[in-house]
Structure 1
Amino acid sequence: MEPKWLTWAKEIQALAQAGLAYSRDVYDQERFQRLREISKEIVAGHTDIPYVKLTDLFTNETGYQTPKVDIRAVVLEKGKLLLVQEKSDGKWALPGGWGDVGLTPGEVAAKETLEEAGLRVKPVRMLAVYDTVQHDHPPMPYHVYKLFIQCELLNGRPTGGLETSRAEFFNEDRLPPLSPGRNTQKQIFQLFKDAADPDAPCRFD
């Protein structure tokens, strides 16, 4: 679970953003802007993120704030799961990334798998929709929903990509070091089971 200070900071930021979007009173606008500044001060005081950078990272949107969507492809082949090694931290994750405007979740899963692993896949079903706050992910400035989509392998050879060094299939009992911001070990173990079971329900929260 994320620390309480981060939960409060994100809630203050969301309320301030909505207020700035919908309030027409100049004095209320000033109050909401100050709340937004306070939310940045809270995050800056508890992390190594520079205060100036938080303007782009934490308070860069307008309108009613909604969770960001991270989409991950689950490709199980002969009992082994596809993972890619991230260049950013050297650890491993399911191929995926932020949802793209103009593409469906399934299209994003297929696109990311091709770009990050060199494999063409076909999305077949949703396995899980998780809220990162309810799982063992490290604290992050955004509220994120993670969509895990099972994909059927069509063709290709596992390779790295622009943001990945390598792509390989792994047995459940021989997993490499995982990138916890992208997927947790508990999630991976559950996905192994659900991807192998055509009757498994779509999990959520």
Structure 2
Amino acid sequence: MARIEHYYDPDAPPANSIVVAATAFVLDDHDRVLLIQRTDNGLWAIPGGGQDVGEYISETAVRETREETGIDVEITGIVGLYTNPNHVMAYTNGEVRQQFSICLRAKPVGGELRPSDESSIVRWVHQDELDGLDIHPSVRLRIDHGYARSPEPYIG
């Protein structure tokens, strides 16, 4: 199902749903972040997706990371809560979803990098390489907050 992201777009359609999602800010021992290049829009992102019924939000982040990257992770904390009503995704089925995402901090514990149906490229990226990648501003915010290592989670 195709989608169009609207970010601070005055012409965006009004939201008609909210779906809880989780993303994972995963750092390896070399302080590199785990990124995917998305197959749906070509942008670079941290792994993540919607929470399934019967699943803890931490399980969502672990599952999505494994599905999209091949890497097994352990959740170690929370980066922040992202609920910006000016960020909506319009889907071809008429759903217009307001962002609601919890970004969790994680560390790799196994697996091997591999792409998936949702990720054409999976790689570890040094912080100084981020400016050279096409990353949506909302995802870059999570990455920047993850690297900031604030003792308190971002709430916004």
| TM surpasses 0.5 | yes
Residue 53 of structure 1 corresponds to which residue in structure 2?
none
RMSD: 2.2
Q: Matches of residues 89-168 of structure 1 in structure 2 within 5 Å? A: 89-133=41-85, 137=87, 140=90, 141-168=96-123
- CA deviations on 1:134-154 (whole Å, 9 max, x unpaired) are 6xx466522221110011210
Instruction: Judging by fraction of residues, say which structure has more helix.
Output: 1
More strand by share: 2
Is 1:201–2:152 an aligned residue pair? yes
User: Any conservation in 2 of the 1:2–1:139 contact (CA below 8 Å)?
Assistant: no
Q: What aligned pairs does 1:46-57 form with structure 2 within 5 A after superposition?
A: none
Partners of 2:38 and 2:11 lie apart in 1 by: 29
Q: 1:93, CA displacement in angstroms?
A: 0.5
Paired residue type of 1:91: L
Q: Which residue of 1 aligns with 2:8?
A: 2
Task: Report the counterpart of residue 147 of structure 2 in structure 1.
Answer: 192
Query: What is the total number of aligned residue pairs between the two structures?
Result: 142
Q: Percent identity?
A: 23
**TM-score, length-normalised on structure 1?**
0.62
SS at the partner of 1:71? strand
Matches of 1:138 and 1:144, distance apart in 2 = 6
| Higher mean displacement: 149-158 or 103-112 | 149-158
TM-score (norm: length of structure 2) = 0.79
Counterpart pick for 1:172 among 105, 127, 134:
127
Q: Structure 2 matches for 1:36-47, cutoff 5 A?
A: none
The higher radius of gyration belongs to 1
